[in-house]
Structure 1
């Protein structure tokens, strides 16, 4: 042999297949061929080896001696399973993949079918490469996170991902089926995929993640709050966590920055606390005992998140504390957080909060000047299909949260307290009280004046004598009167 032939592969598996069929037809054995990518050719190859591109040069220009093996006259036929194995292994990102694929194909063509077996040396490498490619495709489908494009336009959603192997085209087909006609773009360091809603456009050029800026995702804060709430330090298995969600994927996940802190908290003692709570809930033999001895008075938990005075914490995402300036003249007390408040951890941000915001504007009160809170700090709900429907808290739950409400009133020292609804009124006055008797009759509670009006959610469901407009108007009038009283000097 007078030289070594270089076969350059362009276009992945289809390009390799065309070159491999030409090499088989010419009878070139694997040790007479050097395989390379079309964009990674050696600079000095021209003076030492013959470079072979498609279309093939005439046979007389090849600087390779006549092969010892005869040129196969019959077409190359391989089994369907072996073809699938070669296609998957071709996506494995390695400089040796094309040489290995050609050696396996050469052995098959010469009657050695053991090359397709995982027990064979070459077959074992092919199966290992195919397995790694399938795992990389699964990881890409699992860990790609789309964000809406800033400023609108096409594509609507953007994502950046760094796959370990060339699985972009395969994974893009999955997202095209799942996302329907919504347009999206996935960029990687080795290419990009664009789906315009009807057709797929693949590019082999490296993508720039800064070329298409994404806007802030409004759902992301809710997802982060939910992710933190379902984390159980008592059941943390770091080895399993890293195995199923390797660390290299964390940087592309919204919840990725939260994971190290939660692991550190579990190591610092949260795991032991969680395990102790689980052991305390285990059933045991009942022992007759007086109620006073069985349930002695306990000190109030130091933080609201640790409160276990009632059972509402078990099914709520998180406790929702009050918010507003310390020393606010007006405090608004509602019944309990709703579905959206439970997920976000802030009071009055759902539909009822929109009604309240409108009433505050009509009363010429800025939301940031009043203190907003609820009589009950956890969301009480019942399941209706896939929705969580509000359920009125009982007297036991109101009394369990009374200490937190009293602490807020003592800390803020408002001049006027507006009770929104009957539950809030009873919680503020600490006694039975009818809402209708206090709608237009303010009462003193220590140094504060207590006023009552309807809860904003009542305006969303009212039927019968009153209309939603009348309910909203009464709320606005009560807030306006509260503002006047707060600005004035209360009598002794």
Structure 2
């Protein structure tokens, strides 16, 4: 049994040299006892110099890159695992390509964890200025508690980023110092580092860039775990900003600009026309819609729901927005309201495949409630942002008659939903001169609690659809 004790500083180079010697002598993985920092204590270990042989050692670039991450992991078995895979690579040169192999899978997972910890260190180290007698260079110090032994491999990042100042990063494992060159020494306990004058400025900046409308606490904590908060001056502001986020978001919405002024209309029309020219085919249209970021609704929706039907249809039915079923299927009017709609089409003698069916808003807006997603009405800005897509569909289909199903569709097509129930069953003209028939949305019928009223409204809705067919 051979005992190999690797130093805290220079761990990778030491492991690489020891592994090369042992492998060249044909030493099996089970005959090596690895330790880190202190000599291994084992009754059967051999403290003699490591054997060296003349066998060639094969190590691919991919393995070296993986090893240079895994050796910094905190798992005490990391060196043995690495050597075991290196030993196996001498017989199977394609072993690393088999990610189903549990040995390779484990190393890949460890490498990923080290990479993530290095990223956290570069993101969450906070330097504070300290006095530096006898030098013209400014000096800074920081305390950090990494999950793995990553101070040494991460120090070059700080040397490159902060090469114009002297700095010290103290961790429990290793202390890194820079005064033109990087040196390492043993880790230390947390030093007493006072706040400096820049921290108030940093807190002011952090508060100013904090967007209360985008608060997602779980996502934030996944990227910025609480274990780092105590070393970050801005972290003290987070609880208060989260608590007031809803009120601040409402205030921002109230102060947000409304629709563009009239003098901007010609400019917007020209820009929209140029964009529309690039979306002539259905594939181009669908691809562009998938990338729509005109309003925040895309963030939580499963997918946008485009209209469907022939591009020479004489009737275009415009609904409000996708529902839960439509959001999942990617097709309009496939949920409960779609069943009511389909029955009305059938009674009116309309073949659904011969008409164009779409929505004024293309993404599902909802409020999570346990496992359910409760429908929410789109607001004025969301309707306005999505109107560009509806206008493009109307321009491509050129229907003889538009049918507005509900208030959202009516607002999108005419600019107002006022007096919807008084206007239903009547013909109007859109601002661009297209013929429009007003009616309710099928979901309105489904929400009526009175069965008799529901029956009456269903008959009226069927009459409205029949009127569209005759027209």
Alignment TM-score, normalising by the size of structure 2: 0.50
Structure with more of its chain in helix, by fraction: 2
